[in-house]
């Protein structure tokens, strides 16, 4: 394959708002030995891309070469598409296979017509999903899965509270928690109540009208996707041996749970934890594939934008009102 072949991509040469994103023609990539080349059909936005776009918080600039300008010029971690070429050591996929995955720790690049990905961070696409639906899954769903299963040690019969239940991670958390046989209470704003009920929430608390930390209800597991309460208030809402897991929120809340969570946890009692970074792996993509194909989980897509309108998609995501996921679609000569 000629290295001079070109493709269209959304490129950012500097940190800033969505205005710095440009729709440009760039060199089409060639897969390394352990990689596959994916013809991208869809991608989706995550909060992480917003951080890398704006360069805020400052921590995202600490990768070598990223202090003054981005060292990742084509963003996009979640991807779904068809395998177009395989590296000499890539044995799991064949040309034409439909795949999906999370390449956010592998250089990103999904906001383009083609991207290369190590074969161990992708999996075969769920057969019952479109490319757009599949692209909405990887990062958000695996984050929810690992937050509840690994950090929260979720068990059947528990009472689970999900704060920030209507966003990308939250909508998966509600459904995954239900698949474990738990009683789920979702916390969201007024306009999103019907959505979280439709995906299986047993109870819904409108945070604009009620504070769950003051109503006397206790929960075995609280998942804070967009947390906005101090640790002491989350702790108050836990059952005697309950667990709070922080997987999102402001930098202050994230660092608070990392630094103070262990100090405020009780030996043999209430636990206050931070999930840490999602661990991208093929095994959990397969777990999600099985849940999706069984109909236990469905992707919730708020809006779709063509690749050329990715800046507008970022503007919408940055406004903070998305219900579920924002997806980018990529056309290939009408295919």
Q: What is the pLDDT of residue 252?
A: 76
Region of poorest pLDDT, from 58-72, 195-209, 225-239, 279-293: 58-72
Structure confidence at residue 227 (pLDDT): 66
Q: Which residues is 122 bridged to in the sheet?
A: 101
pLDDT value, residue 1: 43
Residue 162, both tokens: 């999900």
DSSP labels for 136-205?
TSHHHHHHHHHIIIIIS---TT-EEEEETTTBHHHHHHHHHHHHTT-EEEEEE-GGGHHHHHHTT-SEEE
- CB of 257 closer than 8 Å to CB of 233: no
Q: Which of 161-170, 247-256, 316-325 has the highest mean pLDDT?
A: 161-170
Position 96 pLDDT exceeds 70: yes
Average pLDDT of the residues of the chain:
93
Q: Which domains does the chain have, with CATH numbers?
A: 6-137+299-329 (3.90.180.10), 139-274 (3.40.50.720)
| Element counts in the chain: helices (H) and strands (E) | 9, 15
Residue 204: exposed, middle, or buried by beta-carbon count in 10 A (0-12, 13-18, 19+)?
A: buried
Tell if the pTM clears 0.75, that is, is over it: yes
Q: Does the pLDDT at position 108 exceed 60?
A: yes
Asked whether 97 and 121 are in contact (CB, 8 A), the reply is: no
Question: Which among 307, 302, 304, 310 has a CA at the least distance from the CA of 18?
Answer: 310
The residue-averaged pLDDT of 33-56 equals: 94
Binned at pLDDT 50, 70 and 90, residue 285 comes out as very high
Cβ pair 224, 164 in contact under 8 A: yes
* Section 119-128 average pLDDT: 97
The token pair that represents 260 in the structure block: 């103070």
168-179 vs 138-146: helix crossing angle, rounded to 10:
50
Alpha carbon distance 201, 185 (integer Å): 6
* Distances 286 to 62, 149, 181, 197, 268 between C-alpha atoms, Å: 32, 15, 20, 26, 33
pLDDT, mean of residues 323-332: 95
Can you tell me whether residue 286 is helix, strand or coil?
A: helix
Give the mean model confidence (pLDDT) for residues 167-189. 97
């Amino acid at each position: 394959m000629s290295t001079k072949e070109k493709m269209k991509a959304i490129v950012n040469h500097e940190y800033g708002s969505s205005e710095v994103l440009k729709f440009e023609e760039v060199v089409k990539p060639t897969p390394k030995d352990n990689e596959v080349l994916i013809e991208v059909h869809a991608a989706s936005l995550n909060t992480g891309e917003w951080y890398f776009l704006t360069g805020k918080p400052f921590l995202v600039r600490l990768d070598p070469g990223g202090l003054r300008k981005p060292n990742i010029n084509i963003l996009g971690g979640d991807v779904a598409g068809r395998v177009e070429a395989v590296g000499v050591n890539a044995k799991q996929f064949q040309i034409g296979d439909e795949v999906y995955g999370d390449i956010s720790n592998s250089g990103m690049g999904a906001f383009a017509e083609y991207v290369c990905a190590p074969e161990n961070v992708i999996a075969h696409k769920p057969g019952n999903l479109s490319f757009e639906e599949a692209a909405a899954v990887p990062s958000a769903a695996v984050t929810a899965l690992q937050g509840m299963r690994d950090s929260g040690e979720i068990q059947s019969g528990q009472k689970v509270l999900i704060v920030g239940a209507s966003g990308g991670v939250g909508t998966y958390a509600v459904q995954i928690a239900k698949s474990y046989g738990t009683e789920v209470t979702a916390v969201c704003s007024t306009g999103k109540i019907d959505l979280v009920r439709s995906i299986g929430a047993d109870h819904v608390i409108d945070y604009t009208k009620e504070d769950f930390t003051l109503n006397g209800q206790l929960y075995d597991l609280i998942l804070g996707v967009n947390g906005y309460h101090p640790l002491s208030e989350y702790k108050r809402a836990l059952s005697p041996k309950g667990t709070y897991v922080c997987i999102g929120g402001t930098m202050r809340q994230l660092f608070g749970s990392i630094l103070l969570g262990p100090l405020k946890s009780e030996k043999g009692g209430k636990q206050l934890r931070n999930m840490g970074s999602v661990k991208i792996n093929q095994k959990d993509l397969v777990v999600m594939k099985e849940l999706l194909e069984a109909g236990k989980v469905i992707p919730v897509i708020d809006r779709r934008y063509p690749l050329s309108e990715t800046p507008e998609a970022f503007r919408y995501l940055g406004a903070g009102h998305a219900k579920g996921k924002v997806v980018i679609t990529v056309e290939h000569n009408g295919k």
